[in-house]
Structure 1
């Protein structure tokens, strides 16, 4: 949490190393954020909706972990999640954009982003997520969520030509350190539980077949 807050709210000096590397520029494909000023009311509403999104995502992980124990077919679960998500998104899009011009996809960044969201972010990620939930549980999955901040900071600097600041690097270091500590703690906890189970099995007296017949 500390790394995520530092990465979000602290910038610091600009790092010029990535600017000297040759990389593709796709910044011209996006709109200029300065042309859409953000008001204080929108910031408050956006922060509130972001907190609700985190809470609902955590609840969804816990529910999926329960479902995977009863219905372990993670491919079918992923297919149902994507199907109902597509239906909800379609209804929401029809309420917001009723002009058919918004629904036309040409050979541009809108088509590429839609294809990536469907094939990678949904079609490939959800089956893998369901499989990991069944194997490791919801806590193991949620621990890796802050890594998205690191990937977004690096990819936006490479692809969108955004500046990379010292705060992003320091926050990334804290996030990776926290992730390693949680994974180390979970591994130690699993080892202790396994040791306790082995000691419990050794403490149970084992009777032979002859003793059972005498009894």
Structure 2
């Protein structure tokens, strides 16, 4: 039984990464079907709120303290940075690039978070220590990988040639022109807002230490914000009408399964094995997305994408190694801890994020 108990967190994190890889595929299909990305984000958090709110009520109703104005303000800011703004930027970046490219950029989060943590004095830079040098080196590796992703395409290295292209099958409008420079910028700025969200969420966690309730609050705030944002730009009733098609599947999948069920799985794994354990599985999502995108979306894998992804993942592990070594020797200042409620960055969220 002990062996199966040790295996369950591994199965949980693998499932988490596979589900979030599928989320990127559904995002790409929904946008290709002509769904307004702002409407998609709004629906995602509507379904997430409907799933998480009852869960929070029944699990934490006996221990939950009274809501204060400060908690509501922090929840609003968390919803704005980590939900509304970050998700809209991320999907917009994916629309201009590819699912694999956008997923690769999410591994920049530890480096971006580290830089912001230095600025906000959550982290200190002991440059003479091995751990401090590792964090700096990892940050530069990640940034270098992102630049390689953006400016170098290279030869096609897709190991197979699939004739399946679900994007073409769902294409309802003229395909958007690819723009890797702009798409990369949008995805990187999305990481910046996620990192900012972590800093705000750290404050929320101290003010209101109830993970399910605080997550439900953030999802509700994001629903209100993203719905208002979408209505300001697109009041076409047809965009909001859901039928049993890829749009409804994308909304339910992203809201209930990704932001709902997998959130519980992530909490459970982090509680038992720690955030560092959860974070090491993050590159698995990139691998799954790359395989699925080439098999069913007609995307091609190029040398620049592969090399850039390798550098970003190497930077991720270098930063995490530095933080792990720092924690072992006990020379950490209070650092950012968070309970992630969102994708595409949930596994990274549990590490630094």
Question: Matches of residues 1-215 of structure 1 in structure 2 within 5 Å?
Answer: 1-19=143-161, 25-31=165-171, 35-37=175-177, 52-124=189-261, 152-193=289-330
The answer to whether the 8 Å contact 1:3/1:171 transfers is yes
Cα distance in 2 between the residues matched to 1:139 and 1:4: 23
Cα separation, partners in 2 of 1:97 and 1:33, compared to 1, 3 Å: closer
Alpha-carbon separation, structure 2, partners of 1:163 and 1:33: 21
What TM-score, normalized by structure 2, do the two folds share?
0.44
Q: CA deviation at 1:73?
A: 1.0
Structure 1 residues 3, 139: CA separation in 2 closer, same or farther (over 3 Å shift)? Answer: farther
Q: Distance in 2 between matches of 1:154 and 1:70?
A: 42
Counterparts of 2:183 and 2:147, CA distance in 1: 16
In the TM superposition, residue 88 of structure 1 has moved relative to its aligned partner by: 1.2
- Distance in 2 (CA, whole Å) between partners of 1:19 and 1:109 is 25
* Deviations, residues 194-213 of structure 1 (Å, cap 9, x unaligned): 7xxxxxxxxxxxxxxxxxxx
TM superposition score normalised by structure 1: 0.68
Q: Deviations over 1:52-103 (max 9, x none)?
A: 5333322111111122123221111111111111111211222222221111
CA distance, structure 2, for counterparts of residue 95 and residue 166 of structure 1? 41
Higher relative contact order (CA 8 A, sep 6+): 1
Gaps of 5+ in 2: 1-142, 332-353
- Count of equivalent residues: 189
Instruction: Specify every segment of 5 or more residues in structure 1 that has no aligned partner in the other structure, as ranges.
Output: 195-215
Q: CA deviation digits over 1:22-50, x for unaligned, max 9?
A: x85412244389644479xxx99877665
The worse-fitting range, judged by mean Cα deviation, of 29-38 and 1-10 is 29-38
- After superposing the two structures, state which structure 1 stretch, 104-113 or 146-155, moved more: 146-155
CA RMSD of aligned residues (A): 3.9
Q: Which has the larger radius of gyration?
A: 1
Moved more, 184-193 or 48-57: 48-57
Aligned to 2:103: none
